[in-house]
């Protein structure tokens, strides 16, 4: 009996080991490593499905994932309240605690930070829309987010809050549940899709803690130059607030300790803006210089940086909201969430500009567009 029991015990262990091996996402010993990116290969409801009545959403991946990995990477908009996430091998199931609303388009997104059990990721964020009604909403708001140093913000989260009083309240945006989400891609571009047509307040931020909530005290935040945006708005530009990544707060104004003129160069160009004034900035990793552009008879703004220390610069400009001519030391206002105030309109030259000794670099033109 003891021998039979021992054999049965060994058999159970062997069976469990074989079962675990079959569920493993690792290739057989000696086989090639599977480097296929993480993908969703099946969904129920299907993408763009209508008349959906289920309270469960199922996704099947090409590689095994865990519930812990999914916990902070699933986004559903509009919010469906509390729900459970369960995982069996490569299949995830979301079960809501209450029925979905009627005639509502829902968007399920998976954060691009999601990794499978072998650390493979999506090549792009996964998004899937379905509707409990007869149509899929097709409203879109799109744009680009940049960091404080004008580089692409590749990890920014964009949230939209509806101005429709039937679905939103008048409380703080810091406390409200966002109606829609989107992530930036490798170029900093984003597109909020499948939105109900209407008006929205849009905020971009670096969601450092992954809780899908704005924390203005610890996370970089960006607003565009218009408080409320309609679906169909495009080419929006957001700049995350913060300090220069290498030097902290940039010094303002032109220093009097310039090198000998033989070691300096000149950068000039035109700014196109609708505001009454334009301030232009040339910034490097170690210094920042500003000047007030002059409006010509055609309504454009001309600027010149003379005697710039030789080096590489980012050239940017903004339209101050001042009613009187501002001092060139005036800094760009990024706006605020509380009270809600849009950022001042700004623009930048997309490439680095080099100041060469005894050389004038011309036609570094910048267009400043107020968000529409």
Q: Domains (ranges, CATH) in the chain?
A: 34-136 (2.60.40.1220), 137-242 (2.60.40.10), 261-367 (2.60.40.1120)
CA 61 and chain centroid, separation: 24
| Residues sharing a CB contact under 8 Å with residue 314, sequence separation 6 or more, in sequence order | 149, 150, 282, 283, 284, 348, 349, 352, 353
Q: How far is CA 56 from CA 45, 59, 80, 83, in A?
A: 9, 10, 11, 10
100 vs 29, residue with greater confidence: 100
Q: What is the pLDDT of residue 262?
A: 64
Q: What is the pLDDT of residue 259?
A: 54
Among 67-76, 181-190, 333-342, which is the least confidently predicted range?
67-76
Q: What's the pLDDT tens digit per position in 198-229?
A: 999 999 999 887 777 888 888 999 999 999 99
Helices (H), the chain: 2-23, 67-71
- 32, 38, 40, 41 alpha-carbon torsion, rounded to 10°: -10
- Name the nearest CA neighbour of 214 among 256, 178, 263: 178
In sequence order, the β-bridge partners of residue 76 are 108
Q: Is the pLDDT of residue 13 over 70?
A: no
Using pLDDT thresholds of 50, 70 and 90, give the confidence band for residue 12. Answer: very low
Among 32-36, 249-253, 264-268, which is the least confidently predicted range?
249-253
> To the nearest whole number, what is the mean pLDDT of the chain?
84
Residue pair 74/61 in contact by the 8 Å Cβ criterion: no
Strand bridging mode 236-239 / 139-146? parallel
| Mean pLDDT on 156-178 | 77
Q: How many angstroms separate the CA atoms of 330 and 319, rounded?
A: 11
Q: What is the pLDDT of residue 372?
A: 58
Name residue, tokens 């959403």: 57
Q: What is the pLDDT of residue 9?
A: 42
Among 30-34, 140-144, 241-245, 363-367, which is the least confidently predicted range?
241-245
Q: What angle do CA 305, 310, 312 make, to 5 degrees?
A: 85
Residue pair 240/221 in contact by the 8 Å Cβ criterion: yes
Using pLDDT thresholds of 50, 70 and 90, give the confidence band for residue 165. Answer: low
Q: Is the pLDDT of residue 250 over 50?
A: no
Q: Is pTM, for the whole model, over 0.85? A: no
| Residues sharing a CB contact under 8 Å with residue 120, sequence separation 6 or more, in sequence order | 35, 36, 37, 38, 63
Q: What are phi and psi of 335, to 5 degrees?
A: 85, -175
Q: What angle do CA 82, 83, 86 make, to 5 degrees?
A: 155
Q: How many angstroms separate the CA atoms of 318 and 275, rounded?
A: 9
In sequence order, the β-bridge partners of residue 119 are none
Q: How many angstroms separate the CA atoms of 81 and 99, rounded?
A: 10
Q: Is the pLDDT of residue 333 over 50?
A: yes
- % of the chain residues with pLDDT over 70: 84
Q: What's the pLDDT tens digit per position in 33-89?
A: 788 999 999 999 999 999 999 889 999 999 999 888 888 789 999 989 899 999 998
């Amino acid at each position: 009996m003891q021998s039979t029991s021992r054999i049965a015990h060994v058999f159970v262990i062997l069976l469990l080991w074989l079962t675990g091996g079959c569920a493993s996402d690792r290739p057989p010993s000696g086989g090639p490593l599977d480097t296929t990116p993480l993908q969703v290969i099946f969904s129920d409801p299907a993408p763009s499905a209508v008349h959906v009545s289920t309270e469960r959403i199922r996704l099947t991946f090409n590689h095994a994932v865990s519930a812990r990995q999914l916990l902070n990477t699933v986004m559903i908009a509009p919010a469906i309240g509390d729900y459970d996430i369960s995982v069996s091998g490569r299949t995830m199931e979301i079960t809501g605690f209450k029925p979905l609303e009627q005639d509502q388009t829902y968007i399920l997104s998976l954060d691009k930070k999601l990794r499978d059990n072998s650390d493979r990721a999506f090549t792009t964020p996964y998004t899937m829309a379905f509707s409990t009604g007869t149509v899929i909403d097709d409203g879109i708001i799109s744009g680009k987010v940049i960091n404080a140093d004008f580089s692409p913000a590749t990890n920014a989260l964009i949230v939209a809050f509806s101005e429709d009083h039937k679905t939103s309240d008048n409380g703080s945006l810091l406390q409200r549940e966002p109606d829609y989400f989107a992530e930036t891609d490798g170029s900093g571009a984003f597109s909020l899709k499948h939105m109900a047509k209407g008006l929205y307040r849009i905020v971009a931020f670096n969601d450092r803690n992954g809780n899908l909530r704005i924390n203005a005290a610890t996370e970089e935040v960006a607003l565009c130059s218009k408080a409320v945006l309609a679906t169909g708005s495009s080419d929006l530009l957001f700049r995350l607030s913060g300090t220069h990544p290498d030097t902290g707060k940039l010094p303002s104004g032109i220093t009097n300790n310039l090198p000998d003129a033989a070691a300096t160069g000149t950068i000039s160009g035109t700014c196109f803006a609708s505001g009454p004034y334009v301030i232009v900035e040339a910034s490097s990793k170690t210094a920042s210089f500003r000047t007030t552009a002059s409006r010509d008879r055609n309504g454009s703004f001309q600027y010149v940086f003379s005697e710039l220390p030789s080096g590489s610069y980012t050239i940017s400009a903004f339209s101050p909201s001042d009613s009187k001519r501002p001092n060139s030391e005036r800094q760009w206002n990024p706006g605020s969430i509380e009270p809600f105030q849009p950022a001042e309109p700004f623009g930048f030259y997309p490439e680095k500009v080099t100041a060469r000794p005894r050389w004038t670099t011309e036609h570094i033109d910048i267009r400043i567009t107020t968000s529409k």
